[in-house]
Structure 1
Amino acid sequence: MTSDTLQRVLTIDELARETGLTVRNVRSHHARGLLPPPEVRGRTGYYGPEHVARLRLIQRLQNEGMKLSGIKRLLGDSGERLLALKEASLEAPETPEVLTAADLGTRLRLGEKDEPRKLIDKATKLGLLHPLGEGMFEVPSPVLLAAAEEVVARGVSLQHALDMLESVQKHSRAVSKEFVKLFVDDVLKPYADAERWDELEESIQASRPLAAQALLAVFRRTMDEEVEATFTDLARSLTRRK
């Protein structure tokens, strides 16, 4: 939404242009009860920022695979609050980088013996890279790329680093599901049923950092335990050799 849109009202033609829809689409959403009526002055209907926001929301939900009938059911007061809570619980995405295949090869120290095509395909499968065509790639998480770059610089092969990341993603997803289920069962459902929306929003904003802190604390402890056990085994091996 442009800053100008926030300052002025729009005719139906302007609303359609602003949201990338056709006038027919806008009227169809009216007819379905998805869009609030405009303010009528004379014979002309005028739309404000709330109409633009509603159409953007409808477009986003459609892009996520929802049908208009389902969107209509969701766009009641409670549904809109839940959608707002969902947005509040998501992390702001990183700003992606765009790199050439040559850039990736340099940063990840890829040589011909490393089978770069195979490794890039695996990185793409893991969601680390998105091919853009003509030898260009989008990197959704520059932080992960920098971590991979550092690991490879320390002597770990990229293949092994990608294998490890695949395992971490798998286990991280399982842990994330448990955290989300816990929150939904113990917090979201009771609060939503009681319409304690303000408290729920505060709880959501606090829960994600708490989950991250708990996960990091457990990881540090288990990492220490694994390091201790591994070095104990190495020490025993050295003792046996003597």
Structure 2
Amino acid sequence: MKSRTQRATNDSDSVAESDPATNKDISPGLTLDELAAETGVPQRTIRFYQAERLIPKPGRDRVDARIARYDTDHIDRLRLVADLQDRGLKIPAIRELLASPEAPNKVNEWLGLDSSLRGSWAKVEPQLVSREELESLTHGLPRGTRGRLEAGGLMRSQGDSWLILNRPLFELSTRLVRDGVDIDLVLASGVILAENLGRAADRLIDLFVGAVAEGFGEGTEVDSLVETLRPIAGDAAALIFGAELNRAVGALLADTKRLAKLRTRPKS
């Protein structure tokens, strides 16, 4: 185990990067080693966060000014940054959020919006399954299907286990393969749907934000507005997509050249 003197030497570079005029003079406190151990955030990452102005500068030890000292504010900030990153916020957005004079209120407001908006849509959590469970889920599938499912992003290896990113979608894909649909056709169909529905989702969000900015729902909580518009993501999307499929099938039936490609061919 390292002594406090050894840890002080390791931490000296952190203090060298800080501004003595703005540093707090605190002692005792946590060294960089101890802060990393307390929060689970690597020292290198903590230094990076300091450089990006995501956490306050460290204080100085009263006896040896070369030693950086961190307190509960640093612990709380590191955990907050980790939480914001887990929710999908990038470093520049986190820095902007935390740099505001009203940072606590803005962060709480953002976290409230995050919970309201994310909580209103269907969310599927990844599932970790054992090798035996995966064998059961993929039993009877053609050789090579598991590799294609992994290449298609539906699952990935996690040591001795497997992470299924979206189990309902995974089970739908394997059911289609069992029904005779080629796995590459299944995966290509998923890509088409994801690309086009992704663009539609982005445009709907822009439409919603623009409408709110122009006064739509004034005086109403955001989560209530989202619940009001939620059918667009489910019922309306399914109805519109079904209608578009009918239109596309009608166009196919009217195109004799394309239709000829669907003629039943004799089995060899």
TM-score bracket for the superposition, by shorter chain length? 0.5 to 0.7
For the structure 1 residues 200 and 106, does the alpha-carbon distance in structure 2 shift closer, same or farther, using more than 3 Å as the test? closer
The correspondence for 2:199, drawn from 157, 160, 174, is: 174
Residue in structure 1 matched with residue 180 of structure 2 by the alignment:
155
Instruction: Quote the offset at 1:141 in angstroms.
Output: 1.4
Instruction: Quote the offset at 1:89 in angstroms.
Output: 1.0
Contact 1:58–1:71 at 8 Å: present in 2 too? no
Contact 2:141–2:178 at 8 Å: present in 1 too? no
Instruction: Quote the offset at 1:83 in angstroms.
Output: 3.2
Instruction: Quote the offset at 1:161 in angstroms.
Output: 0.3
The structure with the larger Rg is 2
Instruction: Quote the offset at 1:185 in angstroms.
Output: 1.2
Question: What's the C-alpha RMSD, in Å, of the aligned pairs?
Answer: 4.4
Establish whether residue 60 from structure 1 lines up as the match of residue 83 from structure 2. Answer: yes
Instruction: Quote the offset at 1:209 in angstroms.
Output: 2.9
Alpha-carbon displacement from aligned partner over 1:48-91 (angstroms, at most 9, x marks no partner): xxxx9987544312454336642323635355324311221113
Contact 2:126–2:166 at 8 Å: present in 1 too? yes
The correspondence for 1:225, drawn from 235, 247, 257, is: 247
Distance 1:198 1:76 in 2: 23
**Aligned length, in residue pairs:** 196
Contact 2:173–2:186 at 8 Å: present in 1 too? yes
Alignment of 1:108-127 (within 5 A): 108=138, 109-112=140-143, 114=144, 116-117=146-147, 119-124=148-153
Residue in structure 2 matched with residue 94 of structure 1 by the alignment:
124
Instruction: Quote the offset at 1:213 in angstroms.
Output: 2.5
Instruction: Quote the offset at 1:111 in angstroms.
Output: 3.1
Contact 1:99–1:137 at 8 Å: present in 2 too? yes
Q: Which consecutive residues of structure 2, in runs of 5 or more, have no partner in the other structure?
A: 1-28, 41-45, 57-71, 264-268
Distance 2:249 2:236 in 1: 20
Structure 1: 4+ residue segments shifted above 6 A: 52-55
Give TM-score scaled by structure 2 length. 0.56
Give TM-score scaled by structure 1 length. 0.61
The correspondence for 2:230, drawn from 204, 208, 221, is: 208
* SS of equivalent residue, structure 1 residue 156: coil
* SS of equivalent residue, structure 2 residue 158: strand
Give, as a single letter, the amino acid of the residue that structure 2 aligns with 1:89: L
Distance 1:197 1:54 in 2: 32
For the structure 1 residues 141 and 121, does the alpha-carbon distance in structure 2 shift closer, same or farther, using more than 3 Å as the test? closer
Give, as a single letter, the amino acid of the residue that structure 2 aligns with 1:110: L
Q: Which consecutive residues of structure 1, in runs of 5 or more, have no partner in the other structure?
A: 1-11, 33-46
For the structure 1 residues 105 and 223, does the alpha-carbon distance in structure 2 shift closer, same or farther, using more than 3 Å as the test? farther
Distance 1:55 1:208 in 2: 34
Distance 1:198 1:56 in 2: 31
Contact 1:105–1:116 at 8 Å: present in 2 too? no
Contact 1:191–1:197 at 8 Å: present in 2 too? no
